[in-house]
Amino acid sequence: MSDLEARLVEDRQLRDAALEVFSTDLRFIRQDLRARSVGKRITDRIGDSAMDIVDEAVDYAEANRGRIAAAAAAIVLWFARAPLLNGLSRIFGLDEDDEEQDGDDARSDSD
């Protein structure tokens, strides 16, 4: 057998081996897809990722309780700033609305 024929036989054997590996992989993929659909896999992966994120957030919150409490207090104060400022201005007598109302009452009495 010539060198060329020997290479041809070797190349065919390699081709057949590669085809067998590909066919085996394809069978495994098909069996796996029959067991669990693509949609189910995506749902499972998203659920696992979400649980990982929640776990990391809980770990961070446990390690940084003071920072979390300060941030929550800052958010509450931010949303309650108008009522708080109004209350403080009434306590310290800086309420401009009362002066305007008094001025309005004086005008209405003269009518």
Average pLDDT over residues 39-65: 92
pLDDT for res 101: 52
Q: Residues 53-80: pLDDT tens digits?
A: 999 999 999 999 999 999 999 999 999 9
Q: Which of 7-11, 73-77, 100-104 has the lowest mean pLDDT?
A: 100-104
pLDDT for res 100: 52
What DSSP assignment string belongs to 2-70? -HHHHHHHHHHHHHHHHHHHHHHHHHHHHHHHHHS-HHHHHHHHHHHHHHHHHHHHHHHHHHTHHHHHH
What is the token pair recorded at 47?
Answer: 């659920």
CA distance linking residue 31 with residue 28, whole number of Å:
5
pLDDT for res 67: 94
Percent of the chain with pLDDT over 70: 84
pLDDT for res 34: 86
> Which residue, chain included where needed, has tokens 């009362």?
98
| 45: pLDDT strictly greater than 60 | yes
